[in-house]
């Protein structure tokens, strides 16, 4: 008899900590049984800058989720993001060893190990190896086993981060007497939920615009080829509004939410809006055009930075599935138009409709939902692959990615 396992998807973001509890029933289905949220403190641009504050916020959210569900968590899937997340392509090639020139499992294992074995700078830790299609004599193949050829090449997108920063996030979870079962890049978690299989297959970019950072993931052929994070988010816009229009950050934040638009809608420069709209001393009119101009520029800037990071993967011909936007920053009006103008492909707002209903459909829960989905597949893999090697697990994770 299979015991139900309670897993938690935890996202310690810049603006909030989200915890979703899922119960994996009979190893095959996931029931979402609890939600805990708290405002985040001690996190800046996705990085933990005050351990104790971040610790308290995360623990409050976890406790709230546990109390709501009335169960204890068995394992945690933790989302990581932040400015330190980087990635590189690691490649390796081997000559096919068998006499009949057919690729054996040993060849695949060897080339995969060589590709993954690239040294990282001191203090860095691997988070994911995102597998790309193999190349056998310069032709792209998904599964080269038993195919004929002379030279087999493997390529991975290796996502790595600062080991200390990842350790800090893990220790926050450990501090609640919980064990982190896996660490997942936020972009991957989001992508698994908001992008459809068709979009992933034809090629799409998933952007999770948070308060402090923007996570990105490019899918093609149903798998993630590149993922990462840029340290620019909603705060980037609010900061510029604050500086450019000379107001406090909180006021800028409010103004952004009330009047912000990712493309200029109001060309009339004399059209103004009140800063606080409370008719008290200090309240003043602000040109609406100015707000929209700043927001458009900064939003466009974020997209351009991402596009630059993507390099060849960001070209319109590789993103025929379009851009899927989610996260708190995607709440800006006309953000799809802004994204379309930068990436030259259609853009849409993503939600969690394929996996959740009601409140959980909102994209602010995409990361936590994606983590649960990841956890479900991981648990299934553990059940199916129990007694097998880690290689099998890796393959299953690769499928998910």
Which positions touch another protein (CB under 8 A)? 51, 55-56, 59-60, 63, 94, 97, 106, 109-110, 113-114, 116-120, 124-127, 158, 160-161, 163, 166-167, 170-171, 174-177, 179-180, 183
Q: What is the nearest approach in angstroms of another protein to the Cβ of residue 84?
A: 12
Q: What is the nearest approach in angstroms of another protein to the Cβ of residue 36?
A: 12
Of 56 and 137, CB closest to another protein: 56
Of 156 and 313, CB closest to another protein: 156
Of 167 and 244, CB closest to another protein: 167
Q: What is the nearest approach in angstroms of another protein to the Cβ of residue 252?
A: 32
Of 76 and 218, CB closest to another protein: 76
Q: What is the nearest approach in angstroms of another protein to the Cβ of residue 212?
A: 21
The candidate with the shortest Cα–Cα distance to 223, out of 200, 199, 192, 190, is: 200
Q: What is the nearest approach in angstroms of another protein to the Cβ of residue 105?
A: 9
Would you say 342 and 323 are in contact if contact means Cβ atoms under 8 Å apart?
A: no
Of 117 and 358, CB closest to another protein: 117
Of 33 and 114, CB closest to another protein: 114
Of 31 and 174, CB closest to another protein: 174
Alpha-carbon separation of residue 156 from 128, 224, 249, 325, 364 (angstroms): 9, 10, 41, 25, 29
Q: What is the nearest approach in angstroms of another protein to the Cβ of residue 385?
A: 17
Q: What is the nearest approach in angstroms of another protein to the Cβ of residue 94?
A: 7
């Amino acid at each position: 008899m299979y015991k139900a396992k309670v897993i938690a998807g935890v996202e310690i973001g810049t603006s909030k900590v989200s915890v979703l509890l899922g119960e994996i029933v009979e190893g095959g289905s996931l029931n979402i049984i609890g939600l805990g949220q708290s405002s985040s403190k001690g996190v800046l641009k996705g990085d933990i800058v005050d351990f104790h504050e971040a610790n308290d916020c995360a623990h409050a959210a976890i406790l709230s989720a546990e109390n709501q569900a009335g169960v204890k968590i068995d394992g945690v899937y933790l989302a990581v993001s932040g400015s330190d997340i980087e990635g590189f392509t690691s490649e390796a090639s081997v000559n096919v060893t068998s006499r009949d020139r057919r690729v054996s499992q040993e060849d695949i294992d060897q080339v995969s190990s060589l590709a993954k074995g690239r040294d990282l700078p001191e203090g860095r830790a691997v988070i994911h190896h995102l597998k790309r299609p193999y190349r056998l004599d310069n032709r792209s193949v998904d599964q080269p086993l038993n195919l004929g050829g002379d030279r087999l090449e493997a390529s991975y997108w290796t996502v790595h981060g600062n080991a200390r920063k990842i350790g800090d996030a893990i220790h926050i979870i450990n501090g609640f007497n919980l064990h982190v079962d896996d660490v997942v890049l936020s972009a991957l978690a989001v992508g698994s939920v908001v992008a459809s299989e068709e979009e992933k297959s034809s090629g799409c970019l998933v952007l999770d615009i948070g308060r402090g950072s923007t996570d990105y993931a490019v899918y093609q052929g149903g798998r993630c080829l590149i993922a990462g994070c840029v340290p620019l988010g909603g705060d980037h816009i609010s900061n510029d509004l604050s500086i450019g229009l000379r107001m406090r950050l909180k006021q800028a934040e409010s103004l952004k939410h009330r009047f912000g638009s990712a493309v200029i809608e109001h060309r009339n420069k004399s059209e103004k809006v009140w800063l606080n709209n409370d008719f008290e001393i200090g309240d003043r009119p602000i040109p609406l055009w100015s707000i929209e101009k700043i927001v458009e520029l900064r939003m466009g800037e974020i997209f351009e930075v991402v596009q630059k990071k993507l390099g060849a993967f960001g070209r319109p011909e590789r993103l025929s599935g379009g851009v899927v936007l989610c996260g708190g920053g995607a709440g800006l009006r006309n953000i799809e138009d802004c994204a379309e103008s930068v990436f030259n492909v259609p853009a849409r707002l993503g939600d969690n409709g394929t996996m959740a209903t009601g409140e959980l459909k909102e994209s602010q829960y995409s990361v936590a939902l994606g983590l649960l989905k990841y956890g479900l597949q991981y648990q299934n893999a553990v059940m199916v692959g129990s007694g097998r090697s880690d290689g099998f697990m890796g393959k299953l994770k690769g499928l998910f990615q």
